């Protein structure tokens, strides 16, 4: 049986071992930091299947889409409703629509109250719950085995997750199935579910409301910033929050899983997925005409012929601009390069384990409610051409 108790950075919690165990002796259980790890019961027959299936214990010999001429795109959906419910430009929804229909199974991360877990839904019409990034490690539950059953039954399946989850699923399913479309993300890393819940509790206390719903990267009618979260209280009140404690810890790389940060094995250019999606970073540098756009954009990187077959349909439903893989690498280096994990991450977790509430107030500054000023509201309503002229006017005035 795999033993991650000594070297936790070698387990990304994908659950391939859990799904593959022939005697179901593996359980995925949270450690004291709140990350899931496999543990085996005495039923273990030492067949070592878990080791063979683990993409870290037995590194991959597959080469993703290496032989294929990759293409990269900056894209945004033409539908406002889809853009609004998506973290970036709605690439995930549009890819699902291009690949699937009402019978297709779509698997992605959804909220279960304040917990994040992977679920399968039937039909592209029902994917709203999967949309938007949840920057918390998603519990894979039993979806690998479910997906295998769907594929055996001849269904088409889309799976979207972090690069390590996709690597685990691909290893579990074995040979690439023509009915399975794999989408991965450019991933900063995943944070702890336990830390997330403690941060939400501290917000509940601060705003004197019991928070029952949470949304990362809340959007208004017009794209403003990635750094607003929306919380919903049990009395139905909704509030936009800036300086959210969870996001502070996440962005400072303090609450990441040990296998993320500088330890990720899957942050590489040759992905095992068919398509990689992400934010399009540096949009005004690569496409100056998109400066001040009222929407934010997705990166779409196509790695395989299967992904490429969707391109024509995507072009109908999205506004797409072709760019180079180097544009993506320059502005979004987490596509292919390691990041770091905070040098004091373990100090934060030591504090957190001994006193959850105390650690949140010690390591985070206080959150505040965000309200758009009347100037901001008018600014959002102005057409782009007027916004650009106003900016030029102000810049000229300052340069005198
Ligand atoms: C943990 C995490 C870290 C990320 N880090 C970066 C980054 O550093 N740079 C960058 O450019 N982009 C990053 N992204 C991707 C980005 O936030 C958007 O998800 C991506 O641009 C897709 O947006 P969209 O508008 O196409 O689709 P959306 O509708 O926003 O689709 C989101 C998709 O992401 C999946 N997803 C959401 N939360 C999770 C989760 N916790 N675990 C696994 N899958 C999840 C959902 O299943 C859904 O399929 C990250 C996403 C996540 C979840």
Predicted local confidence at residue 292, as pLDDT? 79
Higher pLDDT residue, 342 or 221? 342
Q: How far apart are CA 135 and CA 349, in angstroms?
A: 18
User: Which residue minimizes the CA distance to atom 50 of ligand 1?
Assistant: 187
The model's pTM is: 0.94
Q: What is the mean pLDDT of residues 100-104?
A: 97
Question: What's the confidence (pLDDT) of residue 305?
Answer: 95
* pLDDT above 90 coverage of the chain, percent: 79
Give, for ligand 1, the residue of 14, 81, 87, 143 to mutate: max count of ligand atoms closer than 8 Å to Cβ: 87
Q: What is the pLDDT of residue 262?
A: 85
pLDDT of res. 1: 66
Helices of type H across the chain? 16-20, 49-53, 80-85, 91-99, 143-152, 163-173, 193-206, 245-251, 283-286, 305-308, 311-317, 325-331, 345-354, 356-363, 374-381, 384-399
Distance from Cα 208 to the centre of ligand 1, integer Å? 30
Q: Count CA atoms within 13 Å of residue 391 on its CB side.
A: 10
> What is the C-alpha separation between 73 and 320, in angstroms, rounded?
6
CA of 47 to the centre of ligand 1 (A): 35
- The verdict on the CB of residue 12 being under 6 Å from ligand 1 is no
Going by alpha carbons, the residue nearest to atom 20 of ligand 1 is 278
Q: What is the 3-state secondary structure (H, E, C) of 93-104?
A: HHHHHHHCCCCC
Mean pLDDT for the stretch of residues 84-105: 97
Quote the CA–CA distance of 325 and 16 in Å, as a whole number.
Answer: 30
Instruction: Give me ligand 1 centre to Cα 155, in Å.
Output: 25
- Is 75 a pocket residue for ligand 1 (Cβ < 6 Å)? no
Q: For residues 199 and 367, give the distance between their C-alpha atoms in angstroms, rounded to a whole number.
A: 10
Q: Read off the tokens for 374.
A: 């009347």
The whole-angstrom separation of Cα 390 and Cα 307 is 42
Ligand 1 midpoint to CA 350 (Å): 28
When pLDDT is cut at 50, 70 and 90, the band that residue 98 belongs to is: very high
- C-alpha 298 – ligand 1 centre gap (Å): 10
Other CB atoms within 10 Å distance of the CB of residue 223: 20
For atom 47 of ligand 1, which residue has the closest CA? 108
Residue 164 CB–ligand 1 contact under 6 Å = no
**Interatomic CA distance for residues 349 and 352, integer angstroms:** 5
The strand pair at 229-233 and 238-242 is best described as antiparallel
Nearest C-alpha neighbor of 107 from the set 83, 154, 60, 142? 142
- pLDDT bracket for residue 66 (50, 70, 90): low
Does position 299 have pLDDT exceeding 60, yes or no? yes
Instruction: Please indicate whether residue 295, judged by its CB atom, sits closer than 6 Å to ligand 1.
Output: no
Tell me the average pLDDT of the chain: 92
Give yes or no for a contact between 106 and 96, defined as CB atoms under 8 angstroms apart: yes
Q: Is pLDDT at 244 greater than 80 in this prediction? A: yes
pLDDT at residue 79 above 60? Answer: yes
Block residue for tokens 């979207």: 160
Which carries the bigger pLDDT value, residue 263 or residue 361? 361
Q: Is pLDDT above 70 for 400?
A: no
Buried b (16+ CB within 10 A) or exposed e, 137-157: bbbbbebbebbbebbeeebbb
Tokens of 266: 């899957």
Domain range list for the chain: 68-393
Could you tell which of 109, 126, 133 is best to mutate to test the pocket of ligand 1, judged by most ligand atoms within 8 Å of the CB?
A: 133
pLDDT, residue 370, reads: 87
Q: First-to-last CA distance in the chain?
A: 70
pLDDT at 107: 98
pLDDT at 374: 74
Does residue 371 register a pLDDT over 90?
A: no
d(Cα 77, Cα 95) in Å, to the nearest integer?
10
Gap between the Cα atoms of 196 and 118, Å rounded: 17
User: Among 52-66, 159-173, 216-230, 358-372, which range has the highest average pLDDT?
Assistant: 159-173
Q: Measure the CA–CA gap between 98 and 120, rounded to whole angstroms.
A: 18
């Amino acid at each position: 049986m795999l033993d991650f108790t000594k070297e936790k950075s070698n387990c990304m919690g994908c659950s391939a071992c859990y799904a593959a165990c022939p005697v179901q002796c593996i359980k995925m259980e949270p450690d004291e930091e709140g990350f899931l790890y496999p543990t085996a019961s005495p039923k273990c027959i030492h067949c070592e299947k878990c080791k063979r299936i683990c993409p870290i214990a037995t590194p991959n010999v597959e080469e993703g889409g290496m032989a294929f001429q990759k293409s990269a795109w900056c894209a945004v959906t033409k539908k406002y409703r889809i853009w609004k419910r998506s973290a970036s430009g709605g690439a995930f929804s549009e890819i699902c629509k291009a690949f699937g229909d009402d019978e297709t199974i779509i698997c992605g991360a959804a909220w279960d109250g304040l917990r994040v877990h992977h679920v399968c839904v039937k039909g592209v019409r029902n994917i709203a719950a999967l949309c938007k990034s949840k920057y918390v490690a998603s519990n894979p539950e039993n979806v690998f085995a479910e997906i295998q059953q769907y594929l055996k039954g001849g269904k088409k399946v889309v799976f979207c997750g972090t690069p390590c989850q996709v690597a685990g699923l691909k290893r579990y399913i074995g040979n690439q199935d023509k009915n399975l479309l794999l989408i991965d993300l450019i991933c900063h890393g995943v944070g702890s579910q336990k830390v997330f819940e403690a941060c939400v509790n501290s917000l509940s206390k601060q705003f004197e409301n019991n928070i029952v719903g949470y949304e990362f990267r809340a959007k208004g009618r017009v794209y403003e910033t990635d750094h607003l979260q929306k919380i919903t209280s049990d009395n139905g009140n909704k509030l936009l929050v800036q300086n959210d404690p969870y996001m502070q810890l996440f962005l400072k790389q303090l609450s990441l899983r040990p296998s993320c940060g500088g330890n990720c094995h899957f942050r590489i250019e040759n992905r095992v997925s068919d398509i990689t999606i992400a934010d399009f970073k540096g949009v005004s540098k690569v496409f100056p005409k998109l400066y001040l756009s009222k929407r934010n954009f997705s990166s779409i990187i196509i790695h395989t012929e299967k992904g490429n077959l969707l391109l024509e349909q995507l072009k109908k439903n999205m506004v797409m601009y072709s760019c180079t893989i180097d544009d993506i690498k320059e502005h979004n280096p987490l596509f292919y390069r390691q990041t770091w994990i905070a040098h004091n991450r373990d100090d934060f977790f030591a504090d957190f384990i001994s006193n959850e509430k105390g650690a949140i107030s010690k390591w985070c500054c206080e959150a505040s409610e965000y309200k758009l000023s009347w100037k901001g509201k008018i600014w959002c309503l102005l057409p782009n051409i007027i916004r650009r002229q106003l900016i030029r006017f102000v810049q000229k005035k300052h340069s005198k």
